[in-house]
Structure 1
């Protein structure tokens, strides 16, 4: 094979140079071959989606009253590097197929006990940010995920979340999803939001200490509508019921062990580079 390739190359060179030799030195100079430079590596490209809107959630974990607040979301879509490596899908509206690893984030608002008569005597809780990683697996009609996060601020515990969705597409632009959710918290997390120390205890809210484990189980229904290549609408309705030690907390017993959540927002796709 090597000898055959070399022979073919020599024949091509001889064929290509014969007219130049016949034409003479002057013509050869005029017909010099220009060699194009090698193409430059592709520029990096980053595609992501931001969501902004409103939400309605319980005023605190276990509350029977609700409050309206802002809703903000971020979704990673695609990243390409100069070395040619790619992550995600350049089409922000496509399903993420197969296995994937990503980040996980949740914000938990503060609990100011002075704002609620039923929580009188309990310590205030600062806002908390939870940061972690998630593992996902998706197909055209099914998606599942598991996430682990660590809290900073209001609580310093670890939490975990597992969920799955059946995905339906009534039209090319409308995506619907429905599936179960379960939420876990360690001892630190559970006692921060559902526990009552001896210093906080009262006749209405006696001392209560929790172990870590399953905190809640529920379901989420989501919808996403693609207006055009850049803009979209997105919303979800969630329902969860507290389980085990969390359900038996005096904070929950004087409130409601079933919690609803609603969010709705506008999405915008951003593409940087490329």
Structure 2
């Protein structure tokens, strides 16, 4: 969907090794480890101008992922290898930013009220293995919309080389009544001959697929990109806003990633 998403994976912690006082006297000091490790992504993305648009716009692509955290009590979260996938069940946060929709910028939306930019905050759960991963996310909107949204998906994972990782799988997106009214509804006051009044219900909004790739250049630098396709379904597909545009939405993003370590 339009906007960018930042997922923060927070794997279950692993307790550090316990040592008795006697053992501490004879063991060599443990090597220093970073207290915090995370990855930032920056690049460009092509996304629909608004939900239902048949035109794309170029904008920034930003991303953040948590890799590792070491606490003073010896407990650790994550993996010291920032390129390793989380295995098993992990929980985390989810964030999405949706750009504003200004009717004056699009002749086909004349008469509609502007929609402010929105921020969505929520939680995520993921289960991963070496060659498969599934996830679910739920977020609440603030600003442009005040609704609830959710997304579920799964990926098949291929590793042609030690440095190249490929993933591909389905995505299904849901939104409640408040979300659907904001981006797909047309009120009686906004209605016109080209955009008749329409009051959509919440439910499944779209279904699609994503193909992603990640390449590790060295220990700290990498390249990452993805191509997404989705098709609006149910009440979203029947919206006059979508019918005058397109019910198929394409997205492409490409960025450079950098691993940061703090607290050596």
Identify whether the pair has TM-score above 0.5, normalized to the shorter chain.
Answer: yes
User: Aligned to 1:224, which of 188, 191, 214?
Assistant: 214
Q: How high is the TM-score relative to the length of structure 2?
A: 0.87
Distance (whole Å) between structure 1 residues aligned to residue 178 and residue 141 of structure 2: 10
Inter-partner Cα distance in structure 1 for 2:238 and 2:54: 15
Query: 2:156 touches 2:167 (CA, 8 Å); kept in 1?
Result: yes
Provide the rounded CA distance (Å) in 2 between the counterparts of 1:219 and 1:194: 22
The answer on 1:66 being equivalent to 2:42 is: no
More helix by share: 1
**Partners of 1:98 and 1:86 in 2: how far apart?**
16
The answer to whether the 8 A contact 1:235-1:263 is kept is yes
Q: Structure 1: how far apart are the matches of 2:180 and 2:69?
A: 37
State the partner residue of 1:159: 149
Q: State the partner residue of 1:101.
A: 91
CA distance, structure 2, for counterparts of residue 88 and residue 43 of structure 1 = 13
Q: Distance in 2 between matches of 1:44 and 1:152?
A: 35
Return structure 1 stretches of 4+ with deviation > 2 angstroms: none
Is structure 2 residue 208 aligned with structure 1 residue 196?
no
1:81 equivalent in structure 2: 71
TM-score, reference length from structure 1: 0.84
The answer to whether the aligner puts 1:145 opposite 2:107 as a matched pair is no
Q: Which runs of 5+ in 1 are unaligned?
A: 1-34
* Residue in structure 2 matched with residue 260 of structure 1 by the alignment: 250
- Distance, in Å, in 1 between the alignment partners of 2:147 and 2:112 is 19
How far did 1:131 drift?
0.7
Select the structure with the greater relative contact order (CA < 8 A; seq sep ≥ 6).
2
- Structure 1 or 2, whichever has the larger Rg, is 1
User: Of residues 233, 237, 256 in structure 1, which corresponds to 2:223?
Assistant: 233
Shift of 1:154: 0.7
Provide the alpha-carbon RMSD of the alignment. Answer: 1.8
Distance 2:34 2:211 in 1: 35
SS in 1 for 2:100: coil
- State the match for 1:23 in structure 2: none
Q: Aligned to 2:116, what secondary structure does the other structure show?
A: coil
Matched pairs, number: 240
The equivalent position to 1:184 in structure 2, one of 174, 193, 211, is 174
Q: More strand by proportion, 1 or 2?
A: 2
The unaligned stretches of length 5 or more in structure 2 are: 1-24
